[in-house]
Structure 1
């Protein structure tokens, strides 16, 4: 159980960010309650269109009033099951109405949710459940033919302190398992309302509400606790960049388990009173069908999908994207050809975002970067002299680039350095952080592990270079894989690409390319090298080996798992 009395943040930090206006008295439940009062009969939340195939229940559409009613009923059921203030609830549910209801119900009574990817199995449940101290674990009976409840029961006995395993559906599905509590969305009774009121929980914005998990691209996942304060200030980036309003219809294909979905969709939806349409796991026909049928105005998509659509005019002619006005993308460098093509050929602005669970939040919006090439290549350098940025978060964030060898601050353009960041969205520290390396410097800045360099005529931009630990050192020369990946992504045969270092006794490392190709395409090492030579890159950056895979390995939230590619090389 997390210590609610202490909260996550120190009085000094609270005073600093409240003085800036970044942190306020707002809590998530109060914002939700405000939206219910403002838009009671407006459609708030929509299930995935293929819900029957996923979880066995028909898709639902709820108004804000109906959603609030079911949240209250679920909050009463949680209290009946013994959930107490500060208890951590492990949540392994697909995107849908019930997932959002559980989050809101838990926060209404002072519980903490720890979202878990649907791909996780017993190993991850044990590790995360033990680290976070799950008091309750909630899943679905079945997900696309996988017996989720049975798996949860198998792991539950080994998680210390776990008291309840439950399923949550919109209607009873199948025979309940012994020892599993069956929660079903329902309309609140007067007794439910009275029970929640009698519980008497009053939220403090410093109270923790989530424990999300780092993506673990290079190490075991680490818990990232967050409170109302940091989540709600972070949320403004997700509202301001796409300029969301209550008239928007948001389609969320990202698993609602971390920063991307919380800042990109869930909390901006609550802030604005827009409509949230759920989707999970990614299924192209369903996704495009939802855009058309729900008249979606804003969604997110990975760079590879955007590039594929841009190149495939036949596919574009078969789908209706006419309602879309902007699309967010990130998790990998965007190509200028993609961003420019979507804007000029399709009339849709692509927003470039770069974030992390720990608190990096950089977004390049059409307002700040009207030139799509600049929007693909650069992010705002908050704090640059004589430059104003559109989002209010620019006034709250401080950044610096640090030379990895000297530890000195970098002020000149073109010199790579690690991004250090401070602001109201930066997390307080890892769960059980005393067991981990300190992620902050002496001044409290988060050491991001990401390499950027200053760019732009006024030194107003940041250009992403690479992750510090991804750098390839070949014969004493540093090579940034992202640079080569960005160039090879433009090759007409390439669907997605990763560049890693292949161990070499003579050179230290050699450049190794791993690519997934478009249907019926072919690519040789010589062709890849010739393509790069035509871009006039230095010869030491040319690939020396090429591997073709059907698809590149990714974690549950879509991040490339380069460690898997490296370990395959060792074997």
Structure 2
């Protein structure tokens, strides 16, 4: 089911071009261990004690390898093996890294879930991916994810075993993560008998899109490792870098933005969770971080808070990656001119988009804020090695006709070695690819700049709300709120937030005589057992929703009104 995901002709073509090879995740990790076994490589969040009840740790490559073998051995002893899909719900700690590496070492498939996910999301996604095992922790804050999973086992028929890190007493039937003598030898025997195929699935991440049912995004060693060059080349990462990672390692941003570059080039990976600004700034200074990532709204806010920045030694920081929302030119220029720190403009997706504009290729901060590389534009060269591997086209969203002239909006379509092979259960879903094999991204751009060398983002064709790097699908909330007794109509849209980028607003038309409140709506959704970050944080009451002539709600009008602070009531 999860073997050989890309067709043989594609593998042969990209291999012949030198874009794919025989690399695997475990082989890259073993190379790091061999190169510098006793060099420090991985650092826990500074607040780990409060988060999980465990003391923060600092590990060398050799220590990571030893713990990876120990966990791999435990998994094998309980029947987890090649091709098994394992749900993974852990905060950004050293244990999360070890879990990925151990599961990849034995050929299992990792399906990472945000720690905020609760019963509703875990049951739905675990059923779609047929989780055969689940790996979590005894405690995150005041919650016990292990106990929550134990209570859900009846709703996940494929689930055989649940494992948990942590010293807190575990519910009956949960396997504690421990290490047995001789683990390395047993794991070595397993890997010798079951060599990894680079075309095998290694992760199933989840994308909310515009639909209430999430889609699974399977990825292989081949496409992940091809994509990782984009996030290595843009910040010019080397083994001397210290990467501070505040993004959850559950999707493209955390996995390809931080984890895979660290795995390929070495250096030190410093974990951060949950996001806390004083802790984040303290880690930059204490760990001498050279590279990190942050939402645009946070970077804008920090520029306005010189009291915070002046109290932090930022001298080690070379670059900051940012994206998921348009960057303000004034913000990019402010960081460069006032602090000497370049901002990299990111546009990416779980499915395989990787457009990054960096200070080396685009020194002007205002151009860098507005534009992305138009790979393949005549007479234009880019330093990233993916620039010669990605094929890009824009097409009219309605007719599919090619868009080749500047200023005309077109849907971005891409093809190349970093694109995923297709959605989980894809035979039952509309194909994400066009007839020529290009991924239909649903994102609208225009050609811009001298000689058409740039792409400028126009709009999300999808209505996704991105709150602090986490995706919220409005359709899911709208479907649930349709059952609220006080609501006749509802539309959920994002509105600007100075730190998280966006938050969710419920725009509601009440039933006759009803008076819905934000508190009541939140309580209703909590009873639906959804993740807390999805809950609306603002309520607008309307007598009607704006619609086009065929009855579709005009969400763009609602977003525009919210962004300007207009009272919708």
- TM-score, normalising length: structure 2: 0.83
The Cα shift of 1:512 comes to 3.0
The answer to whether the 8 A contact 2:210-2:463 is kept is no
Is residue 2:495 matched to residue 1:504? no
CA deviations on 1:307-357 (whole Å, 9 max, x unpaired) are 001111122122222211100000111110110110001100000000010
Alignment of 1:377-392 (within 5 A): 377-392=370-385
**Where does residue 366 of structure 1 map in the other structure?**
359
Q: Give the Cα separation in 2 of the matches to 1:284 and 1:102.
A: 27
**Where does residue 459 of structure 1 map in the other structure?**
452
Change (3 A) 1:86 1:495: closer
**Where does residue 89 of structure 1 map in the other structure?**
86
Q: Aligned match of 1:180 in 170, 174, 178?
A: 174
**Where does residue 538 of structure 2 map in the other structure?**
none
**Where does residue 198 of structure 1 map in the other structure?**
189
SS at match of 2:413: strand
Q: Give the Cα separation in 1 of the matches to 2:322 and 2:226.
A: 21
Q: Aligned match of 1:424 in 417, 427, 430?
A: 417
Change (3 A) 1:426 1:144: same
CA deviations on 1:441-469 (whole Å, 9 max, x unpaired) are 00010000000000011101000000124
CA deviations on 1:508-541 (whole Å, 9 max, x unpaired) are 748335799xxxxxxxx9xx5xxxxxxxxxxxxx
Q: Give the Cα separation in 2 of the matches to 1:404 and 1:410.
A: 10
The answer to whether the 8 A contact 2:229-2:384 is kept is yes
The Cα shift of 1:209 comes to 0.7
**Where does residue 104 of structure 1 map in the other structure?**
101
Q: Give the Cα separation in 1 of the matches to 2:30 and 2:463.
A: 45
SS at match of 1:160: coil
Is residue 2:309 matched to residue 1:316? yes
SS at match of 1:511: helix
Is residue 2:11 matched to residue 1:17? no
Q: Give the Cα separation in 2 of the matches to 1:425 and 1:108.
A: 22
Is residue 2:213 matched to residue 1:167? no
SS at match of 2:26: helix
- TM-score, normalising length: structure 1: 0.83
Change (3 A) 1:497 1:149: closer
CA deviations on 1:235-274 (whole Å, 9 max, x unpaired) are 0001000000000000010000111111111110011111
SS at match of 1:421: strand
What runs of 5+ residues in structure 2 fail to find an aligned partner? 465-494, 508-543
The Cα shift of 1:289 comes to 1.0
CA deviations on 1:57-87 (whole Å, 9 max, x unpaired) are 0000000011111111111111111112111
Q: Give the Cα separation in 1 of the matches to 2:547 and 2:93.
A: 51
Change (3 A) 1:372 1:505: closer
Q: Give the Cα separation in 1 of the matches to 2:254 and 2:397.
A: 32
Aligned-pair RMSD on alpha carbons? 2.3
Aligned length: 496
**Where does residue 58 of structure 1 map in the other structure?**
55
The answer to whether the 8 A contact 2:84-2:132 is kept is yes
The Cα shift of 1:505 comes to 5.8
The Cα shift of 1:175 comes to 1.6
CA deviations on 1:42-61 (whole Å, 9 max, x unpaired) are 11101101000000000000
Q: Give the Cα separation in 2 of the matches to 1:470 and 1:214.
A: 13
Change (3 A) 1:329 1:496: closer
Alignment of 1:194-273 (within 5 A): 194-199=185-190, 200-216=193-209, 218-273=211-266
Q: Give the Cα separation in 2 of the matches to 1:51 and 1:277.
A: 12
What runs of 5+ residues in structure 1 fail to find an aligned partner? 472-487, 517-524, 529-542, 548-568
The answer to whether the 8 A contact 1:499-1:511 is kept is no
Q: Give the Cα separation in 2 of the matches to 1:296 and 1:108.
A: 29
CA deviations on 1:346-399 (whole Å, 9 max, x unpaired) are 100000000010111100011111100010000000000111101000010001
The answer to whether the 8 A contact 1:499-1:513 is kept is no
Q: Give the Cα separation in 1 of the matches to 2:256 and 2:152.
A: 30
The Cα shift of 1:506 comes to 8.1
Q: Give the Cα separation in 1 of the matches to 2:462 and 2:317.
A: 37
